[in-house]
Amino acid sequence: MKLDFATAFPKIRLETRTSFGVPETARLFGICDKQVIDLIEEGSIDAINIARKNKPGSKMAWRIPVATLVQFIEERSSLAEQTEASVGQMRTGGRRG
């Protein structure tokens, strides 16, 4: 089943957005900024560093494209459904119903 982003996150109007920052993404997921950065650094979420690279001591300034965020959520949603189905089968010994 495909996740309906508009239903899951009704306050976010995707048609007006091209990307999200780390703090916005953290609020969306209910996690801290560090966890979002960890997801970016491990490659789970693709993001673009918009910081000036030639400025000494500059920090990363990540932007996460909307399409990437939707894909990440859909993949995690699908994985959760598969896990839930597998656990249900283990509990019933593979029996349905």
Which residues partner with 21 through β-bridges? Answer: 63
The pTM assigned to this predicted structure is 0.68
Give 19's pLDDT tier (boundaries 50, 70, 90): very high
CA distances from 10 to 13, 14, 15, 68, 76 (A): 7, 10, 12, 18, 19
Q: What tens digit of pLDDT does each residue of 41-91 get?
A: 999 999 999 987 766 666 889 999 988 988 888 888 776 566 666 666 666
Of residues 4 and 68, more confidence is placed in 68
Indicate the helix (H) or strand (E) that contains 20: strand 19-21
At 64, the amino acid letter reads I
Domain residue ranges in the chain = 18-92
How confident is the model at residue 65, as a pLDDT? 94
